[in-house]
């Protein structure tokens, strides 16, 4: 399974670095529970997006081991019901989750 690196950013600015660091640790722990070698990379990314969304965050960066193909990005966007916008810079995928 490819290893995914993640950076999350809260829409509301936290005043304490420790709170942000605790949130990142918590999300990484939760991510390890939802990622699976038994499913596609697209499914794993969709799971990460849903996880971050459930934690009330609206942005995340995913460091991938390789750049995704356009078709993979389309699948992810469609599965997220077009509620996300994504930009890719080589192996870095930046995801913005639409506010409700």
- Which distant-in-sequence residues (6+ apart) come within 8 Å of 3 by Cβ? 65
DSSP 38-84: TS-HHHHHHHHHHHHHHTT--EEEEE-SSPPPHHHHHHHHHHTTT-E
Global pTM reads: 0.76
- Which distant-in-sequence residues (6+ apart) come within 8 Å of 87 by Cβ? 93, 94
Q: Cα 28 from chain centroid?
A: 11
Domain boundaries, the chain: 5-97
**Segment 21-77, tens digit of pLDDT:** 787 888 888 888 888 889 999 999 999 999 989 888 899 999 999 999 999 999 999
């Amino acid at each position: 399974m490819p290893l995914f690196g993640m950076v999350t950013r809260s829409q509301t600015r936290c005043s304490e670095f420790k709170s942000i660091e605790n949130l990142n640790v918590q999300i990484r722990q939760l991510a390890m529970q939802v990622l699976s070698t038994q499913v596609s990379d697209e499914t794993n990314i969709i799971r990460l997006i849903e996880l971050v969304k459930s934690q009330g965050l609206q942005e995340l960066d995913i460091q991938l081991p390789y750049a995704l193909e356009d078709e993979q990005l389309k699948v992810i966007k469609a599965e997220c019901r077009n509620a996300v916008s994504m930009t890719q810079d080589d192996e870095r995928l930046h995801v913005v989750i639409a506010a409700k």
